[in-house]
Structure 1
Amino acid sequence: MNIINKVTLRHLKENKRRSLVTIIGVIISVAMITAVATLGVSFLDLMIRQDIAKNGEWHVLYKDLTHDQIQAIEQDSSTKTLALSSDGYAALEESENAYKPYLHFRSYNKTGMEQFPITVSEGRLPRNENEVAISEAIKNNAKVEYKIGDQLTADIGERWSTTEPAMLTQNQSLQRGEDTINEELKNTETKTMTIVGTIERPTWEPTWAPGYTAIGYVDDTSSDSVDAFVVLNNIKGSLFEDANKLAAQQGIENVHFNSDLLRYYGVTDNDNLRMTLFSLAGIIMAVIIIGSIALIYNAFAISVSERARHLGMLSSVGATKRQKRNSVFFEGAVIGAISIPVGILAGLAGIGITFIFINTFIQDALNVTERLELVVTPASILIACGISILTIFISTYIPAQKASRISAIDAIRQTHDIKLSGKTVKTNRLVRKIFGLEAEIGLKNVKRNRKRYLATVFSLVISIVLFLSVTYFTENLKKSLELSQDNLQYDIQIFSSHLGKEELASFAELDQVTKSTFIDEVQFEALVGIDDLPDPLKKQIAENDLELTDGKYPYYTVMHGLDSESFQAYATQIGVDAADFTQPDKPSAIVIDQISYEDASIGKLIQTKALEAEVGDKIDLFSMPYGDSETEQPERELEGTVQIGALTDEVPIGVQTASLGGVNLIVPEDTLWQLAADAEQVSSYVYLNSSDPMATQTAIEDRKDTNINVYNVFQRRQQDEQMILLMSVFTYGFITLISLISIANIFNTISTSISLRKREFAMLRSVGMTPKGFNKMIHYESVFYGVKALAYGLPISILVMFGMHHALRYTFEYGFSLPWMSILFVIVLIFLIVGAAMLYSISKIKNENIIEGLKQENI
């Protein structure tokens, strides 16, 4: 070790406070980078495990395969494991539920039974084609009691509709007419199997499914065509192309991909979604790196400023520019050698402890089965080390270059920081006239101490940009979720074509139900003039040369009739009088004038007006036209006319907004029945909000002799809200951490600046500045700091927010709006931070003796 480095180490030891502050700042910065990298890996691991636990592990699905095709897929180099599956139905004549008359045989090979979530409640799973495990629901709903060891003989085949040539799946309810069943079993094969176990009802069996699940066994020697669920060796972007290429080579017609699971691996065939994710990740990582560099740079900049005389003394005894520069780099290396290992361990420990606390919250509040585990990969550690080393190098580079250029005389006299001229400290005359002499002196001080002033402003700007960026990012995640879920504000939707309204209403009396809404729906058609169409629809008409009817566009119109209590609450919510919509001789409707739709041509979700209309306009409603042939012109019959009583973007519970070229009309149920020509056109739904949606769904499913379609929105929403909630917790935790570091940096910078200005303050007091005037000057300096920080921070934040908005436009499209409440909060907070820092620093020197202050040198 050369003498310069020894002197640098000794200087670090002698200035323990400054060295400790720098080391702590770097440790926290490294810990933050490590925590963010580890969080990303751990969170994706959670989502992967959760999806596998719920839906099974598979990446690619090949359907209807022969034995040779299975062998080709199994021998493909990209295939890790291959699970076989087949489906079939058999009549369950002993069923007590008229709407579940089948056994649904879902057969797997050994690998499939391991990869898919099947919970055995008694016995075991089948090991050959002559064994079967049945669902507990069969035992509870069949007249004949099945026991383990019993023989089960069934004619297994395919469900086919008798009204149209289509094969039916487990996701389609029993096809029934008024008195008949409009489906049959075809291609049946008689099989006798031994019952070897019972299972819990699988997650893939919907409430409305017509068959109770039975798990069978299948292998590649089966004579029937089977499906292959493939787990790949490497998850990469080319898997879509590779799978389709393999399918084409083997003559496989149907290929599907597990998009949900692949998305968590960072792989998607939606280029727009990939671009959105990468753009947002890039912006967030840029903000993190810039913030880290800013914090560490500020610490080293203060260090070099305080070491100016020390470097000057080294220069006076023969130290070269290179040696002085390397002195700063050596200081960075020493601090990095201490801080990076400690920071990585601190980051891992911190995020691990956070996981322990948040797991209880996640599992209890969000009903998640998997736990968030700390996943540490070599890549994440190397990324954290690499970014940390890079930030320390960048942070030390500029101070090192400045240190090498300091001459011995300037350094010893300390004239390098403050270089004055009349132009430098010139202020506008209005400052003194409006705010007084103290404000002018304060502004001159700000201009005179430009480097420390800029360091403080920079710390403030970083805090502003980070807070507003993360706030906007989180709010946009919620906005994107709203668009993707089509304003679904309920937990459970219930529909049945065979239950009356009174029977549907009984579901609202179930335990845990907190709110219920009954909605009747009928479909009409409305002819809308070109001038009243939204711009995106006008564009589509022009580009595709769409045919109009008498110069008008046929709108798909859905009328929703709310029960009186629900309509009254909805009218109050949007600020209108419900009585205005109950006049039989003058039907009125509330029009939802804002919709979001997916433009398939560009792969975006776009938000726009449903139609350009005003309150008081009238809409003619026609029956939906149906022609008997392609050449026959469908006839429209006028059913009635409604007047637009209100326009709103608020959507009542249970209503799903129309797509482009459609509109939703909200009316009282009496108005709907007044306009509906035929009761058969009306569909009735009940929408429930529940404190425990899963328990409510179970209670509904326990009803027998009903063909009920239950759609549990809670399950769909749960995963998205879980992601947003977790990201919000960690992003706000991150912003709080880095903001606290910034605040500490601001206090340190201002405190150092005030300490170095003791002689100046003593001089001002010696020429007659009163304590009141002195405090006034300090307050104005605080205002100047805050104004300058906001002048830079707010525009930069807006640019970053606009960049995020632009990134989201690859997948979502809606208007850009600023988070005004967050901006107002930042403005207030900045002035509080600066004011508190200035007052804290002044309190340490306000009782200093004037004579001692004038004699003191700035060291």
Structure 2
Amino acid sequence: MKILFLYTKRMLAANKARTAVTFAGIVLSFALLTAVLTGTSSLFHFFSEYMKMRDGDYYGVIYNCDEEDEARLAQSGEVMQICRMGIVGVAEKNFGIEHEVSLSNRVYVAIGSVNADFFATMGVRLIEGRLPENDSEVIIPQMMTTAGKEFHIGDTITWQIGERIGSDGRVIQHQEQRIEDRSSADFCEEETIQVEQTKTYTIVGVSTNPGYQKFAEPCYLVLTTGVQTTISDIYLKTKSIDDTSDFIAKNFGDHQSKINETLLRYFGQGVSDIRYMLFGMCAVLMVVVAIASIALIYNSFSISLTERTRQFGLFKSIGATRFQVIVSVFLEAGFLAVSAIPAGLLIGCVGVSCVFRLLKNSFDAMINSNGVAYVGSISMTFYTQVWYLVVAAVTGLITILISAMVPAMRAGRISPIEAIRQTNDIKDHKFARNIRGRGILGMVFGVGGLIAHRNAKRNKKSYRAISFSLAICLFLFLGGSGFIYYMRLSMKGLNVPYYYNYHIQFNSIYNDTFDQEYLTQEFREKLVGQLRTSSSIIEAVYIRKANLHIVVDESNLTNVGKLAVGEYIVDGQMHYRDQIYFVEDTQYEAYLKQLGLNPEEYLRSENPKLLILNAVKGAADFDDGRRRFYEGSMFQDSSKLTEISIMEQKKIGDASYAYPDPEDPSMMIYLVGDGRTAQSDDDFKKFKVPVEESMEKLSFEIGETVKAEDYPYWAWAGDWGFVLPLSAYNEDLFITPNIQDYAYLKTIDSERALELMLELRNEYDESFDIGMPPQTDQYEANMMRILNVCLMCFLILIVLISLANIANTITTAVRLRTREYAMIKAAGCSKHTFLRMIFAENLSYTLRGFVIGGLMGALANYKSYSYLKYSIYTNKIIPIGLYAVGAAAFILVMIFSTVYTWQKVRKGNICEELRQETV
């Protein structure tokens, strides 16, 4: 064994170039495996820790527990951690407008008493001020500061605190939703506060909105400290997050409770299982990298075997056994693995760490975009666990052993005489029988194709190896690029960037209490014209939005469209109220020209074509209990669309408002009167009209459908809708109290544009409000920038492995056939025939490689999709565009191979090549 050991070391040292190439390939493969696994784990750790900080580090909450419940939880062996919020009581909020008090979501204030552990565990972060230090101090959530009254640090507020009591006398828990019909205060459940104490609090801080509070809860949650309560909400952690729901149901089924769905998505098996999706796709990617690495390393060992065939023959002729020859090859693999595995692990970890350091500003900006309270709260760092590195090392070791196995077995079967005489590579017992026929290559390329066909028949193993090597390269590209595609798709979620900088929302045209001068269309168009004169504003458009009743046949909807409006499909038809954009004609005409459409068809006075904004994004509950994001087209292609009907309530007489009769759904109640003096419906004159007579049906000629990427800047690319010219809106025909007028602006100097809008707002008696789009686009922009950099680094490594494999394969094939090409030239083959032969050979194995690699890549993409679908619903199973890129790359490979082979043959010396003893 010692002799084999020394022999292997000498062979590696004697073939420095080949050893260096093989070592580099193994290191690169190990680095990529390590980077994929540790990079995925680092990203997962970062986002899961951020979610804990934002929404609370708990698995579930049990509401309104008494002292006995707390004792049971404390003694339970299944509970790891408990965090308590004592309920002091509930009070009327005593701020905001009267209408809001009766009809809005949050109409009460709930006071909770907590300790320092609660602030740390539940992610309570201060925007300003400090934490409370006694039972007379409170911190309020940010949402309270915009709820009808301006609060400041140091303000005092007095509440009459008690319990919510329903009309039936029952105690209503603080988190229970109110039973209400928002169309009227008369339909709200009667509730009162049974006052138990009056308490004055000093506001000492403003915190972020509590992520652990349900969106629909009726209370603003303010926090104090130092109050002993008998009732509390218990936030807990069980030993297994997956068992939390069962534990609560089994032991506290009579209590209201909630599961922390945010953490369940990351660590459990809830809706949109992120951990399963992310690490599942990571596993697919590691398999892709491992297969590509096997092909690269296998080629290196095959070259070693071919170059050392004569050496192995001499080795066996002096008494070496088959086992010793096999061990020699495996020892070579072992030498390389011992040094390459640690180097690959180190380079992979250092590379991921460096990438994350370079992206630190983007990670910080993404977190900071959530508000000043989150600045510096968490930072992206390299994160891994020992078992991640063990998995990468074991995967790499298995890869090397598999790569060396076939060459080792081949080396063990070498006959000493044949190896010394170098006849084994050209011997084929079935050659005479298989050589017959011209084959497709011979029929297409003539004599050159015939030679290529017979070479392929004689050297089947070589051709298979080349085709398989190219197939692996395509497989690696398709699998890696598909992973990038699906990762981008999964990270997009529901965030869609907005392309305007400001919007102006005008007071409703039905607001009778406002100066009528500012409620006209003429005034609003004039205002937008003034804004356009500013050099700081690029574009401005005036739009009237109307939510009208849409009727579309179900066959017009895509699968994604049916997901979006499934509950509104009745008897094969979709009935839905959605917005129609009535866009001022000049701006609409410019947009139509940008799309390449004929403005005359869409701006005509009678029956203008209906432009369809055909994109939809959202989330839906599926049959397996998971909630998934979806995106895609709402409607079929415009050529397949049938009639789209739009219906609205007709304006009858002097009526200014209409609504369904609650006692008779077949009738509409019309109201006539002065809304400025009316206190209730009784102050209006009323009359009834049958529903079918009150509705006006409009059917438009179907125009083109617009994809999300072609949406105008004034429309959100995550929602579908219809566009008509403003001139098509008929004020005398419809009663539409839900009409709202907007202006959308794109700016180059946002500060100057805002100053101008503020000046005009003061000049026109605050007749409009100024708003900005949601800041989700900033979060997404940073997230996508991070993702793009990480994935591009990965893709670069994939391309390097693929290029090394292709170059290795092509150059090896030419070297192994040097004598064969020399013999063909010596036989008098012309340049034209020789080029045809080379081209035919390259075309043959390139096509085979493309087909095999394409099928393998499709399988890898489908597997990635199968993990992605646990979070995202999409019908984009296979990214077809990648195959076009792969085909173009293979054409370049075929051209390179042909040119390279011809250049080598042209420069070679026939006599010297025929005298070569080694292949």
Q: TM-score scaled by structure 2?
A: 0.75
Partner of 1:229: helix, strand, or coil?
strand
Alpha-carbon separation, structure 2, partners of 1:160 and 1:612: 55
**CA shift digits 1:416-468 (9 cap, x unpaired):** 33333135555626645643434443454455444344333323212212222
Q: Closer, same or farther in 2 for the Cα pair 1:621/1:170, shift >3 Å?
A: same
**CA contact 1:201–1:213 (8 Å) conserved in 2:** no
Q: Does 1:216 align with 2:219?
A: no
Task: Find the counterpart in structure 2 of residue 186 from structure 1.
Answer: 193
Partner of 1:285: helix, strand, or coil?
helix
Q: Closer, same or farther in 2 for the Cα pair 1:463/1:689, shift >3 Å?
A: farther
**CA contact 1:581–1:667 (8 Å) conserved in 2:** yes
**CA contact 1:477–1:724 (8 Å) conserved in 2:** no
Alpha-carbon separation, structure 1, partners of 2:834 and 2:778: 58
Partner of 2:701: helix, strand, or coil?
strand
Cα displacement (A) at 1:226? 3.8
**More divergent stretch after superposition (510-519 vs 663-672):** 510-519
Q: Closer, same or farther in 2 for the Cα pair 1:844/1:235, shift >3 Å?
A: farther
Alpha-carbon separation, structure 2, partners of 1:396 and 1:26: 12
**CA shift digits 1:337-390 (9 cap, x unpaired):** 111111111111111122222223444588565433111211211111111111
Partner of 2:775: helix, strand, or coil?
helix
Partner of 1:238: helix, strand, or coil?
helix
Partner of 1:681: helix, strand, or coil?
coil
Q: Closer, same or farther in 2 for the Cα pair 1:469/1:562, shift >3 Å?
A: farther
Q: Does 1:558 align with 2:566?
A: no
Q: Closer, same or farther in 2 for the Cα pair 1:202/1:664, shift >3 Å?
A: closer
**CA contact 1:517–1:563 (8 Å) conserved in 2:** yes
Q: Closer, same or farther in 2 for the Cα pair 1:301/1:187, shift >3 Å?
A: farther
Alpha-carbon separation, structure 2, partners of 1:220 and 1:138: 22
Partner of 1:126: helix, strand, or coil?
coil
Structure 1 unaligned spans of 5+: none
- How big is the alpha-carbon RMSD for the aligned residues of Structure 1 and Structure 2? 5.5
Q: Does 1:853 align with 2:913?
A: yes
Counterpart pick for 2:623 among 601, 619, 639: 601
**CA contact 2:501–2:746 (8 Å) conserved in 1:** yes
Partner of 1:648: helix, strand, or coil?
strand
Partner of 1:680: helix, strand, or coil?
coil
Task: Find the counterpart in structure 1 of residue 679 from structure 2.
Answer: none
What pairs up with 1:233-382 in 2 under 5 angstroms? 234=239, 236-248=241-253, 251-259=254-262, 261-265=263-267, 267-270=268-271, 280-363=281-364, 370-382=378-390
**CA contact 1:84–1:220 (8 Å) conserved in 2:** no
**CA contact 2:265–2:274 (8 Å) conserved in 1:** no
Partner of 1:132: helix, strand, or coil?
strand
Task: Kindly provide the amino acid, as one letter, of the partner of residue 619 in structure 1.
Answer: S
**CA contact 1:240–1:269 (8 Å) conserved in 2:** no
**CA contact 1:35–1:350 (8 Å) conserved in 2:** yes
Cα displacement (A) at 1:327? 2.3
Task: Kindly provide the amino acid, as one letter, of the partner of residue 45 in structure 2.
Answer: D
Alpha-carbon separation, structure 2, partners of 1:684 and 1:589: 20
Task: Find the counterpart in structure 1 of residue 647 from structure 2.
Answer: 621
What pairs up with 1:102-501 in 2 under 5 angstroms? 108-120=114-126, 124-133=130-139, 153-156=158-161, 186-188=193-195, 190=197, 192=199, 195=202, 197-199=204-206, 216-218=223-225, 221-223=228-230, 225-230=231-236, 232=237, 234=239, 236-248=241-253, 251-259=254-262, 261-265=263-267, 267-270=268-271, 280-363=281-364, 370-420=378-428, 421-424=431-434, 428=438, 431-432=441-442, 434-478=444-488, 484=494
Alpha-carbon separation, structure 2, partners of 1:689 and 1:71: 60
Q: Closer, same or farther in 2 for the Cα pair 1:833/1:580, shift >3 Å?
A: closer
**CA contact 2:479–2:861 (8 Å) conserved in 1:** yes
Q: Closer, same or farther in 2 for the Cα pair 1:317/1:63, shift >3 Å?
A: same
**More divergent stretch after superposition (52-61 vs 482-491):** 482-491
Task: Find the counterpart in structure 2 of residue 823 from structure 1.
Answer: 883
Cα displacement (A) at 1:19? 1.9
Alpha-carbon separation, structure 2, partners of 1:439 and 1:469: 33
Partner of 2:193: helix, strand, or coil?
strand
Alpha-carbon separation, structure 2, partners of 1:462 and 1:513: 53
Q: Closer, same or farther in 2 for the Cα pair 1:512/1:479, shift >3 Å?
A: farther
Task: Find the counterpart in structure 2 of residue 741 from structure 1.
Answer: 801
Counterpart pick for 1:668 among 725, 749, 758: 725
Aligned residues: 839
**CA contact 1:64–1:254 (8 Å) conserved in 2:** no
Alpha-carbon separation, structure 1, partners of 2:393 and 2:130: 49
Q: Closer, same or farther in 2 for the Cα pair 1:429/1:333, shift >3 Å?
A: closer
Task: Kindly provide the amino acid, as one letter, of the partner of residue 354 in structure 1.
Answer: V
Partner of 2:353: helix, strand, or coil?
helix
**CA shift digits 1:232-261 (9 cap, x unpaired):** 36554334433443432xx222323232x3
Partner of 2:427: helix, strand, or coil?
coil
Cα displacement (A) at 1:26? 0.9
Alpha-carbon separation, structure 2, partners of 1:275 and 1:492: 40
**CA contact 1:588–1:642 (8 Å) conserved in 2:** no
Alpha-carbon separation, structure 1, partners of 2:728 and 2:542: 15
**CA contact 2:550–2:578 (8 Å) conserved in 1:** no
Q: Closer, same or farther in 2 for the Cα pair 1:274/1:53, shift >3 Å?
A: closer
**CA contact 1:135–1:201 (8 Å) conserved in 2:** yes
**CA contact 1:153–1:190 (8 Å) conserved in 2:** no
Partner of 1:646: helix, strand, or coil?
strand
Matched residues, percent identical?
Answer: 23
Cα displacement (A) at 1:526? 5.2
Alpha-carbon separation, structure 1, partners of 2:259 and 2:729: 42
Q: Does 1:714 align with 2:775?
A: yes
Structure 2 unaligned spans of 5+: 370-374, 512-517, 650-657, 668-689
Partner of 1:12: helix, strand, or coil?
helix
Cα displacement (A) at 1:724? 5.0
**More divergent stretch after superposition (469-478 vs 10-19):** 469-478
Cα displacement (A) at 1:782? 3.5
**CA contact 2:648–2:734 (8 Å) conserved in 1:** no
